[in-house]
Amino acid sequence: MNDRTSAAPPVLDVRDVTVRFAGLTALDGVSFTVTPGSVHALIGPNGAGKSTCFNVLSGLCRPGSGSVTLGGAELTRLAPHRIAALGVARTFQNIVTTHGTVADNLMLGRHALSRAGFAASALRLPGARREQREHLARAREIAGLTGLGAHFDSPVALLSYGDRKRVELARALCLEPRVLLLDEPVAGMNAAERARTVEVVGEIRAELGLSVVLVEHDMGLVMRLADDVTVLDFGRPIAHGTPDEVRRDPEVLRAYLGTDAPREDAA
């Protein structure tokens, strides 16, 4: 249905992004590159700027300086809906679903891929109806993929916390994204739900070949899923590398565990 997935996803490149909120520097010269098809984790203590970074990537927050490019497109000047149309989908740390059923939410994810306007929908033109049918079929497929198949027509408000988190993931997938931004996808889930979500992320990555940027506090999950890790602390990037390299980095240990020693090798 969509040719976006057939080609390899483009490179997502973040260069020297700085964001200031009235005196507070939320992001300070952050740079990293997401290699196509990889899982790139963004970790750091609370308040390190991970969510702000996601807001920059999805266009909700405009950086003071720096650039974000996806393939050849500069994202920092685009409105959120244009970035979505380029194939960047995200989930939120605190669940942001709309009223209505799971199907309604997933069909919202198909918005950028469908065309029916006000007139065509109002007059229920055959083209608009066919489009809706096709997208509904694909949404149902994605619901199945994420383990929501049985809940497809249930109101979101009646679902468990873990399932609602999964609705967000499924909705993002409905965009047929080339880059998927996951903001704490397993926060607040129990062990079984976590395992299921990890499985799903692994599956979609293998099946759809998309790049994933992941913010997560669960280090076990990060170590298992991520190919690259960028560590932020107070808005500054303090380490880059594979999970193993990052785990041994003294700077990272300091940021997470704190230390009494003075910072001789401060960056």
Partner 1 sequence: MSDRLLGALTRRRTALPLLAVVLCLPPFYLDAFWLRIGLFSMAAAIGAVGLALLSGTAGQLSLGHAFFLAVGAYGYAWFAGEPGPGLPPALAALLAVLLAGAAGGLFSPVAGRVKGIYLGIATLALVFLGHHVLLTADSITGGFNGRSVPPLTLGGFTFGADDGELTVLGVPFGAEERLWYLGLALFAFTWFTARGLLRGRPGRALAALRDSETAAAVMGVDVARHRSAAFVVSSMYAGLAGVLLALAFRRVVPDYFSLALSVDYLAMIVIGGLGSVAGAAAGAVFVTALPLLMTRYADQLPLVTAPGSAEGTVGPTEAARYLYGAAIVLVLLYAPDGLHGLARRARDRVRRRHTRTPGTEPSVPTPPQPAAAARTEEHTP
The partner residues of 181 in beta bridges, in order of sequence, read 90, 213
Give the phi and the psi of residue 33 in degrees, each rounded to 5: -125, 130
Stretch that binds partner 1, among 38-46, 91-99, 219-227, 237-245 (CB under 8 A): 91-99
Quick one: which of 17, 48, 53, 116 contacts partner 1 (CB under 8 A)? 116
Cα separation, 5 vs 205, whole angstroms: 11
Q: Does 185 bind partner 1 (CB under 8 A)?
A: no
Q: Residue 129 Cβ, how far from partner 1 at the closest point, in Å?
A: 9
CA-CA-CA-CA torsion sign (252, 258, 264, 267): positive
Q: Does 140 bind partner 1 (CB under 8 A)?
A: no
The rounded Cα 209 to chain-centroid distance in angstroms is 15
Q: Does 98 bind partner 1 (CB under 8 A)?
A: yes
Q: Residue 252 Cβ, how far from partner 1 at the closest point, in Å?
A: 30
Q: If you compute the radius of gyration of the chain from its CA atoms, what whole number of angstroms results? A: 19
Count how many residues are written for the chain.
267
Q: Does 136 bind partner 1 (CB under 8 A)?
A: no
Written as six digits, the tokens of 69 are 């490019």
Quick one: which of 35, 121, 190, 242 contacts partner 1 (CB under 8 A)? 121
The partner residues of 194 in beta bridges, in order of sequence, read none
Stretch that binds partner 1, among 128-136, 142-150, 225-233, 250-258 (CB under 8 A): 128-136
Q: Does 187 bind partner 1 (CB under 8 A)?
A: no
Q: Does 133 bind partner 1 (CB under 8 A)?
A: no
Q: Does 81 bind partner 1 (CB under 8 A)?
A: yes
Tokens 């300091």 appear where? 254
Please answer whether residues 168 and 108 qualify as being in contact, where contact means their C-beta atoms are separated by less than 8 angstroms.
no
Closest-CA residue to 19 (of 43, 44, 54, 46)? 54
Q: Residue 29 Cβ, how far from partner 1 at the closest point, in Å?
A: 25
Q: Does 219 bind partner 1 (CB under 8 A)?
A: no
**Contact residues for partner 1 (CB under 8 A)?**
58-60, 79-81, 83-85, 89-90, 92, 96-100, 104, 107-109, 111-112, 114, 116-118, 120-124, 128, 131-132, 171, 175
